[in-house]
Amino acid sequence: MSPTDAPDQREPAQHEPGRREPRVTTVLSARNLAKAFGSNVVLRDIDLDIRRGQVVALIGPSGSGKTTVLRSLNGLEVPDAGTVTFAGSAASAGPGLAIDFSAKVGKKDIAALRDRSAMVFQHYNLFPHMTVLKNIIEGPVQVQKRPRAEAIEEAERLLARVGLADKRDSYPFELSGGQQQRVGIVRALALKPQLLLFDEPTSALDPELVGEVLGVIKELAEEGWTMVIVTHELAFAQHVADEVIFMDGGVVVERGPAAEVLRAPRQERTKLFVKRLQHDV
Amino acid sequence: MNWDLVWSSFGPIIGGAITGTIPLTLVSFAFGILLALVVALMRLSPNPVITGVARFYVSVIRGTPLLVQLFVIFYGLPSIGVKLDPWPSAIIAFSLNVGGYAAEIIRAAILSVPKGQWEAGHTIGMSRPQTLLRVILPQAARVSVPPLSNTFISLVKDTSLASLILVTELFRNAQQIAAFSQEFMILYLQAALVYWVICLVLSTGQSVLEKRLDRYVAH
Residue type, position B172, single letter = R
Is the minimum CB–CB distance between B123 and chain A shorter than 8 Å? yes
Residue type, position A190, single letter = A
* DSSP string computed for A46-109: EEEEEETT-EEEEE--TTSSHHHHHHHTTTSS--SEEEEEE--BTTTTBPPEEEETTSPPPHHH
- Between chains, do A171 and B122 touch, taking CB under 8 Å as contact? no
Please report the pLDDT score of residue A177 as a whole number: 94
Pick the CATH number of A24-124+194-280 from 3.40.50.300, 3.40.50.1000, 3.90.1660.10, 2.60.40.420: 3.40.50.300
Residue type, position B16, single letter = G
Please report, rounded to a whole number, the percentage of residues in chain B having pLDDT higher than 70. 99
Spell B26-52 as b/e; 16+ CB within 10 A means b: eebbebbbebbbebbbbbeeeeeeeee
Residue spans of chain B under pLDDT 50: none
| pLDDT beyond 70 at A2 | no
Choose, out of A76, A114, A129, A198, the residue to mutate when testing the contact with B (most B CBs < 10 Å): A129
Q: For B204, what's the count of Cα atoms within 13 Å in the CB-facing half-sphere? A: 5
Query: What's the CATH code of the domain at B153?
Result: 1.10.3720.10
How many domains would you assign to chain B? 1
> What are the CA-CA distances from residue A196 to residues A32, A256, B31, B60, B167 (Å)?
21, 20, 44, 50, 63
For residue range A76-123, what is the model confidence (pLDDT) as tens digits?
Answer: 999 999 999 988 654 554 567 889 998 888 888 899 899 999 999 999
Asked if residues A196 and A215 have their Cβ atoms less than 8 Å apart, the reply is no
For residue range A209-245, what is the model confidence (pLDDT) as tens digits?
Answer: 999 999 999 999 999 999 999 999 898 999 899 999 9
CA distance B20 to B216: 37
| Nearest C-alpha in A relative to B139 | A129
Please report the pLDDT score of residue A95 as a whole number: 66
Higher pLDDT, A192 or A22: A192
Please report the pLDDT score of residue A10 as a whole number: 44
Please report, rounded to a whole number, the percentage of residues in chain A having pLDDT higher than 90. 72
Which chain A residues touch B216 with a CB distance below 8 Å? 128-130, 171-173
What does the pLDDT average to over A166-180?
95
Q: Beta strands A97-100 and A81-86: pairing type?
A: antiparallel
Tell me how far apart the terminal alpha carbons of chain B are, to the nearest angstrom.
51
Kindly give the interhelix angle for A207-223 and A177-189, rounded to the nearest 10 degrees.
Answer: 20
Instruction: For residue A280, name the pLDDT band (cuts at 50, 70, 90).
Output: low
What does the pLDDT average to over A50-73?
93
Instruction: For residue A23, name the pLDDT band (cuts at 50, 70, 90).
Output: low
Please report the pLDDT score of residue A104 as a whole number: 87
Please report the pLDDT score of residue B67 as a whole number: 96
Asked if residues A78 and A105 have their Cβ atoms less than 8 Å apart, the reply is yes
- Between chains, do A127 and B125 touch, taking CB under 8 Å as contact? no
Which chain A residues touch B134 with a CB distance below 8 Å? 138, 142
Q: In what order do the strands lie in the sheet with A81-86?
A: A40-51, A26-37, A81-86, A97-100
| Nearest C-alpha in A relative to B213 | A129
Which chain A residues touch B113 with a CB distance below 8 Å? none
Higher pLDDT, A5 or A108: A108
- Cβ-nearest to B125 among A114, A125, A173: A114
- Between chains, do A143 and B124 touch, taking CB under 8 Å as contact? yes
Please report the pLDDT score of residue A4 as a whole number: 47
CA distance B14 to B156: 14
CB-based contacts of B111, cutoff 8 Å, min separation 6: B44
Asked if residues B94 and B28 have their Cβ atoms less than 8 Å apart, the reply is yes
Domain span holding position B99: 3-216
Please report the pLDDT score of residue A33 as a whole number: 94
CB-based contacts of B117, cutoff 8 Å, min separation 6: A125, A127, B131, B135, B136, B139
Task: State the count of interchain CB pairs (< 8 A) between A and B.
Answer: 64
- Cβ-nearest to B123 among A74, A107, A142: A74
Q: What is the mean pLDDT of chain A?
A: 88
Choose, out of A71, A77, A120, A125, the residue to mutate when testing the contact with B (most B CBs < 10 Å): A125
- Cβ-nearest to B216 among A107, A115, A173: A173
> What are the CA-CA distances from residue A212 to residues A154, A178, A237 (Å)?
21, 7, 15
Instruction: For residue A16, name the pLDDT band (cuts at 50, 70, 90).
Output: very low
Please report the pLDDT score of residue A12 as a whole number: 43
